[in-house]
Structure 1
Amino acid sequence: MPPAQNVGLLSRHVTLLEECDIKSNSRVNSLTQSDISDKSDDFDISFYESIEFKPQIRWPDLLVQISLHLVAIYGLYLILTNQVKLYTLLFVLATIYTSGFGITAGVHRLWSHRAYKAKLPLRCLLALLFTITGQRDIYTWALDHRVHHKYTETVADPHDVRRGFWFAHVGWLVLTPHPAVENRRNALNKTSQDLKDDPVVRFQKLFFIPLFLILNIILPLGIPIYYWDEDWMTSFSVSFVLRFTITLNIAYCVNSFAHLWGNKPYDKYIKSVENQIVSLAALGEGWHNYHHVFPWDYRTSELGKINISTSFIDFFARIGWAYDLKAATMSMIRNRAERSGDGTFHHQEEPYPQT
């Protein structure tokens, strides 16, 4: 497509976002949980559990992961040997954690779980931040996450933790998926109309590659070079690759560490756990035992837990950009913990969130 035509197409999509948003809200707001569930009756998980499956290595994806981590190690070496300017380090840290809200408050709590609703400006902001992280497009990420929750700890789970730490952490991204995963992706693709109806999701998916290049590579690479004369190789290794790799691994840790090591105050029969270290790194996403018990709760944890993303959503609720926040009541939490928890639940009265 010629550049002028591409720019024109981009401009038309930006102009139409608000108009499309008005039309889509009436449909999205009326959706129920069944609308994002698989309605087919012919899926037999026991059949897929019984078949012998040998995954194949997806070499391009594996080589990308290896290259990123090798360059990231070099970037870490530059930091440890004091070859990186302070402004670059501050810029990297700020970018990692501001963009992280695009994952936690955006593609995860808003688009994957619909734990709250957001007006167009907030959705645009979250889409921008999520794109900076470089973790695929919103639609693909959210669809995979819905499959993960619906078929957790089965062969249909994209990053089934039963296959080990490394598979859950990164292996699932470099190996061919199990046939059950492909089957469920296709099934839920047909029922995820709320994602298809959101103009922000459609726009970000359509223009993901140019947006990825600009927001995840060009700007993070160019800003340190232009504004404080950072060396270009240092900027490439630290501001782009190391930052990108850290962001990826923080997200990976939720799939691995937060499904393996920690306590289970709400449900001792599932793999997901409460992991404070992951929560600190992932802006509140490590309270995973709670999240898998109450996936529709916008907080993903009790209010007393460290959860910066919840504060982020609460702020936008106060100014009217976020609304219809869903949260479990204290009695619901306590009853579930007493019924199926591992005994580590601490009874503490916490106010129900005001929205």
Structure 2
Amino acid sequence: MTETEYSEQFKNDDVPKENKEKGLDDKYKDIDVDEIILTKKVGTDYSYKHKVVWKNVIGFFILYSLCIRGAFLALMGEIRLVTIVWTFFIGYITGIGITVGSHRLFAHRTFKATTFLKVILIILQTAAGQNGIYIWCRDHRLHHRYSDTDGDPHNSKRGYFFCHVGWLMHRKHPYVLKLGKRIDMSDLESDWMVMFQHKYYYVLYTIFAVVIPVFVPWYYWGESFKNSLLFCYFFRYITQLNVTWLVNSAAHLYGTRPYDKNMQPVDTWLVSVLTFGEGWHNYHHTFPWDYKAAELSDHINHSAILIEFFQRIGLAYDLKSASPDMVRRRIQKSGDGTHYDLGNEESKKAVSAIGPLHPLNPTYNVTYEPPNVLIKGEGLPLYHENDVMNANVVKRNAAKA
């Protein structure tokens, strides 16, 4: 079955007019999640129209406007150099809270951390302001299980804008709502630190993401409060969000698929540079349990280098990784031929770009059509090669929901 055939089966011209006006759709009214997981495939229904949440649109308009104002002040020389350095320092350490903390430690459990390191990463993740760990990980685990389908919160098949930021301006697809409740979160629910952050997130967020970053320049070197707020909070926050969102957008649309050409995610040098190694996305979706989120830790992968450093000083342990033989077999079985070592010259040349033909060019992309994405209802592996949605876990989570 192709994506088009999948979408065709959902077409329904008999939806009542009043339901259409309310953004409702009878075909999703009575979703049996157990049936989806056990018997069906999940793809993208292109006939489904997401409903805009206008209060979110207005909120983002305000945030972007204040971010632009902060950037303008810096360009006009009205922000002190030390404040700019401080802001980028905050952006760096909070970025580590996302890449090493939310992503590789809590969402994928690719390594274990001491209590001290967990506390530091939770604080840094809170300061990044990208939702608490519990919600961040739930959405990310769902994204991996049903990547680039209607079960994915930021389905890249809906286009660049949607998977970058538009998904936050629309109501979630019914599959996202229903399947999200079936994601196993028992590990985080049993972690008192994660649940403490979840309970008091907005208080902690105000302290670590707003008050401290803004207070320091104002109090210690006399930056005006207005300038500090506009640059250290609004500019830093929105800029960092957009860099993070590149992993959901650019890293699913522009790049190569050396490990699995049947998956939508791609490997992209530029996103890897900007996100401390999160852009090797084709590898990451192929082997999501690998702490490196890439085949190599020493090639544009600052997050992996940090995890290895934490291991050397005793703060991280039990690092998981896909074996070289497993990686090699997957490349030979399903790669698109662009792998740096095991690929072929013909496939490596089958790329295009607007401007310089170099992997750092953001438009660097393969010339073949992106794959049709239809995923079995049980979802894709998350914690090991044969891991899928467990029917017993689904039923237990359904009872809790």
Query: What TM-score does the superposition give when structure 2 sets the normalisation length?
Result: 0.74
User: How far apart, in 2, do the equivalents of 1:45 and 1:71 lie?
Assistant: 45
What is the CA deviation profile of residues 291-336 of structure 1, one whole-angstrom value per residue up to 9, with x for unaligned ones?
0011000000122421111111111111222111001122222221
More helix by share: 1
Query: Is the Cα contact below 8 Å between 1:288 and 1:300 reproduced in 2?
Result: yes
2:234 pairs with 1:244 = no
The 10-residue stretch of structure 1 (140-149 or 302-311) with the greater mean CA deviation from structure 2? 302-311
What is the CA deviation profile of residues 20-60 of structure 1, one whole-angstrom value per residue up to 9, with x for unaligned ones?
xxxxxxxxxxxxxxxxxxx9455465588559533222222
Letter of the 1:95 counterpart: I
2:128 pairs with 1:103 = no
Aligned twin of 1:344: 338
User: How far apart, in 1, do the equivalents of 2:103 and 2:212 lie?
Assistant: 25
Query: Is the Cα contact below 8 Å between 1:112 and 1:142 reproduced in 2?
Result: yes
The 10-residue stretch of structure 1 (302-311 or 129-138) with the greater mean CA deviation from structure 2? 302-311
Query: Is the Cα contact below 8 Å between 1:334 and 1:347 reproduced in 2?
Result: no
Query: Is the Cα contact below 8 Å between 2:281 and 2:293 reproduced in 1?
Result: yes
Query: Is the Cα contact below 8 Å between 2:262 and 2:334 reproduced in 1?
Result: yes
User: How far apart, in 2, do the equivalents of 1:260 and 1:42 lie?
Assistant: 27
What is the CA deviation profile of residues 98-117 of structure 1, one whole-angstrom value per residue up to 9, with x for unaligned ones?
11111111111111111111
SS at match of 2:247: helix
Query: Is the Cα contact below 8 Å between 1:151 and 1:157 reproduced in 2?
Result: yes
Query: What TM-score does the superposition give when structure 1 sets the normalisation length?
Result: 0.83
SS at match of 1:311: helix
Letter of the 1:148 counterpart: H
Letter of the 2:252 counterpart: H
After superposition, residues 74-153 of structure 1 pair within 5 angstroms as 74-153=69-148
User: How far apart, in 2, do the equivalents of 1:48 and 1:284 lie?
Assistant: 28
1:65–1:174 distance in 2 versus 1, CA, 3 Å? same
SS at match of 1:57: coil
Query: Is the Cα contact below 8 Å between 1:48 and 1:180 reproduced in 2?
Result: no
Aligned twin of 2:203: 210
RMSD: 1.7
1:335–1:111 distance in 2 versus 1, CA, 3 Å? same
Aligned twin of 1:165: 160
What is the CA deviation profile of residues 147-187 of structure 1, one whole-angstrom value per residue up to 9, with x for unaligned ones?
00001121111100000000000011110000000011111
Q: How many aligned positions are there?
A: 308
Aligned twin of 1:289: 282
Aligned twin of 1:322: 316
Aligned twin of 1:334: 328
Letter of the 1:294 counterpart: F
User: How far apart, in 2, do the equivalents of 1:72 and 1:134 lie?
Assistant: 15
Q: How far apart are residue 219 of structure 1 and its match?
A: 1.1
Aligned twin of 2:377: none
2:258 pairs with 1:265 = yes
1:40–1:116 distance in 2 versus 1, CA, 3 Å? farther
SS at match of 2:246: helix
Q: How far apart are residue 146 of structure 1 and its match?
A: 0.6
User: How far apart, in 2, do the equivalents of 1:51 and 1:160 lie?
Assistant: 11
Q: Which runs of 4+ in 1 moved over 6 A?
A: none
User: How far apart, in 1, do the equivalents of 2:46 and 2:334 lie?
Assistant: 32
User: How far apart, in 2, do the equivalents of 1:40 and 1:321 lie?
Assistant: 40
Letter of the 1:316 counterpart: F
What is the CA deviation profile of residues 68-113 of structure 1, one whole-angstrom value per residue up to 9, with x for unaligned ones?
1111111111111111101110001111011111111111111111
1:89–1:47 distance in 2 versus 1, CA, 3 Å? closer
User: How far apart, in 2, do the equivalents of 1:268 and 1:50 lie?
Assistant: 22
1:165–1:218 distance in 2 versus 1, CA, 3 Å? same
Q: How far apart are residue 127 of structure 1 and its match?
A: 0.5
Aligned twin of 2:270: 277
After superposition, residues 60-71 of structure 1 pair within 5 angstroms as 60-71=55-66
State, as a whole percentage, how many aligned pairs show the same letter: 40
Query: Is the Cα contact below 8 Å between 2:256 and 2:268 reproduced in 1?
Result: yes
